[in-house]
Structure 1
Amino acid sequence: MASTTTTTTSTSTTATETVAIHTFPETGRGLQAQLDIKEDAIILSAKWEAVWSVEAALNEPVLGDILKQNKLSVDDTLALFLLFVKLSPKCSRDQHDQRRVHVKSGIPESYTASCFFTDEDLEIAQGSSLYNLTIHSQSQSKTTSEFTLDEYKWALFTVWSRAMDFNVSAETSLRGVVPFLDMVNHSFDVKQCHAYDPTEKAVKILAGKSYKKGDEVFINYGPVSNTKLLRLYGFVVPGNPYNAFELV
């Protein structure tokens, strides 16, 4: 498949010419090294103000007042923020222009996570922890709002599959969906390499290993089992060293 050479979806996201979006035969759309990259080099960075965050949602002129009156989880807040910018006629288009670009060109329209399986496909997993956890996830995604259930499921799984957690201190962390950075695919063969820089108020992706020009650049999601990968991200890793039977 042909690749796209676009290197950013936001003026607040910096990718220089280090990586570009590319469609790979095995992993699908991801980020390709445009030059040789040394381990620990900064690949991408983004100002926190450009991130889909709780802070940005609460500061939204219309949606923020509603959110402040209701105590929602971080994921629910981010999901509603995504839907508001994408669909609501009350959304300020000028204020969220870059986020709308991200929704339109950077976020998939559908997911392959187990929550989107047909009933027939899900029955194959009956008796496993994946089946029970998927049923629970489906019940979690039901909500009463002006958005449809399918729209809300799309937004919630956008958050679950694309949000990153950044440690600010030993007690505090930030969670958000970072435009362009959220396109990095997973591999256990690289070290965990995303961080928050409090001095610059920016998030950064570092090279988890050295890359040659043309290689796919990866991020490590952590020691997660195939059950969790399929339930939240829609894929599995053959020979996953962290596979486990989850008791619920």
Structure 2
Amino acid sequence: MDSFYVELPPVDSDDPLFRHKTEILDQRSLAFRFSVSGADSCVQCESHVDAMLKTARILNLNEIEWYFLEEDEFGTITFRNELEALNTVFAALKCVKKAKEEVVALNLLIEIVIQKFRLLEAADNVEAGISCDGDKESKLLDWARREGIESKLDVAVFDGFGRGLRAAVDIAVNDIVMKIPQHLIISEDFVDNTDLGLALNDFEGVIGDTKVLLWSMRERHKPYSMFAPYFASLPDSFNTGLSFGISALQVLDGTMVLEELMQAKEHLRLEYEKLFPELSNKYPSLFPENQFTWEMYLWACELWYSNGLKICFPDGSIKTCLVPYMGLLNHSLHPHVTHYSKIDPESKSLIVHAARPLNAGKQCFLNYGALSNSHLLMFYGFVLGRDNPFDVVPIGRS
């Protein structure tokens, strides 16, 4: 049978680790182009995939993984890295598949990669969720469908997580799990074009981040808002570290986390006092005092800290945004969604693909980033315990 080639992408020239990755690839004599015979056996195909993964792991290193990489480390580095490496190899094989559908060895290679995805799933024991069909969730789902959100995920309740999103059907690698129209993505630009945004242009010192907070505070109370079902579905309290009560703070007494929390809360309080009551006095119809209290300002801060996502728009700008429905995805070190931050210019939608398989009924996770437990506690209200590889221990110097 004819042979064929599988080509992995080169190191991106804009990659901050370009030089380091190139050096490692050269030192280890790792290839980007792999020749495969159409008649290769299963054992030979296993060997090809292993060779491809060695290269793909280096291509997908992040800064922390690069820093701690051992010279003789060729196997799995981290869950995140392995997932990205498998997706890199899978995408390369799919490119070949378009031209050579019936080659036995190619189908073997793809099946081997899929099996490796399944091994990742087997190592991640996620319980199935219970359907969440309350009035707020039902109205949110109806609104999402009317506004053009497409999703293979529905709302459920999970032990230890509360609300989240679960697979409504079996989901395969690279399946579209969610598609959200750009007009539903709430950003600074969106707020600038509202009556509130225009009024704030005349108020000195109000920047974009502050505008979206104030807009969220007002929109939360507008029954006829386009986003009313979304805001109605949000919790009355986010229970992040920023709103901890006295008993919770006492548990943290004597820790650096408590000091960081108090400093962050004091900063937010000072920012609030720069705005109110002056805004309410100047624009009483836009900023009624009963809707712009300190407690409501803190709620809006927690909303944006815990639900805000960095989104890249078609013009290349990157903004922190609220993405309705998608905000229900919970954080995990073992995510199913890894690339979710770029709006597709053709469909004008945020298209979210599955990075690994997910069985119907199981929770779908994304990853908020390489965050320490103190950061997770302060801005999200939970910790990962001793399992968090990104946790830090401050070391003082006398």
Partner amino acid, structure 1, of 2:255 = S
1:26 matched to 2:171: no
Partner of 2:262: 135
Structure 1 segment 136-151 matched on structure 2, within 5 A: 136-142=263-269, 143=272, 144-145=276-277, 146=289, 147-151=292-296
Partner of 1:86: 220
- Specify which of 66, 69, 79 is matched with residue 202 of structure 2: 69
- When residues 133 and 163 of structure 1 are mapped into structure 2, their CA distance, relative to the original with a 3 A threshold, is same
C-alpha separation in 2, matches of 1:247 and 1:158: 31
Q: TM-score, normalised by structure 1?
A: 0.86
What's the CA shift for 1:222? 0.9
Structure 1 segment 203-222 matched on structure 2, within 5 A: 203-222=350-369
Structure 1 unaligned regions, length at least 5: none
Q: TM-score, normalised by structure 2?
A: 0.55
Q: Which has the higher strand share?
A: 1
Partner amino acid, structure 2, of 1:123 = Q
How many correspondences in the alignment? 239
1:36 matched to 2:167: no
Identify which range, 131-140 or 163-172, moves more after superposition. Answer: 163-172
Partner amino acid, structure 1, of 2:327 = D
1:162 matched to 2:295: no
- Pairwise CA RMSD of aligned residues? 2.4
Partner amino acid, structure 1, of 2:331 = H
- Specify which of 230, 243, 262 is matched with residue 102 of structure 1: 230
- When residues 197 and 230 of structure 1 are mapped into structure 2, their CA distance, relative to the original with a 3 A threshold, is same
Partner of 2:147: 12
C-alpha separation in 2, matches of 1:14 and 1:154: 26
Please give the secondary structure, in 2, of the residue aligned with 1:141: helix
Partner amino acid, structure 2, of 1:78 = V
Conserved 8 A contact 1:164-1:177: yes
- When residues 134 and 170 of structure 1 are mapped into structure 2, their CA distance, relative to the original with a 3 A threshold, is farther
Partner amino acid, structure 2, of 1:3 = C
1:3 matched to 2:132: yes
Conserved 8 A contact 2:311-2:341: yes
Conserved 8 A contact 1:9-1:180: no
- When residues 64 and 223 of structure 1 are mapped into structure 2, their CA distance, relative to the original with a 3 A threshold, is same
- When residues 86 and 205 of structure 1 are mapped into structure 2, their CA distance, relative to the original with a 3 A threshold, is same
Partner amino acid, structure 2, of 1:176 = C
Partner amino acid, structure 1, of 2:322 = V
Identify which range, 146-155 or 62-71, moves more after superposition. Answer: 62-71
Partner of 1:194: 340
Larger-Rg structure:
2
What's the CA shift for 1:13? 4.5
Partner amino acid, structure 2, of 1:104 = A
What's the CA shift for 1:170? 11
Partner of 2:3: none
Conserved 8 A contact 1:13-1:44: no
What's the CA shift for 1:73? 4.0
Identify which range, 191-200 or 50-59, moves more after superposition. Answer: 191-200
Higher RCO by CA contacts (8 Å cutoff, separation 6 or greater): 1
What's the CA shift for 1:50? 1.1
Q: Which has the higher helix share?
A: 2
Conserved 8 A contact 2:182-2:343: no
Structure 2 unaligned regions, length at least 5: 1-129, 278-288
C-alpha separation in 1, matches of 2:395 and 2:179: 38
Partner amino acid, structure 2, of 1:25 = D
1:185 matched to 2:330: yes
Partner of 2:392: 244
- When residues 170 and 136 of structure 1 are mapped into structure 2, their CA distance, relative to the original with a 3 A threshold, is farther
Partner amino acid, structure 2, of 1:207 = A
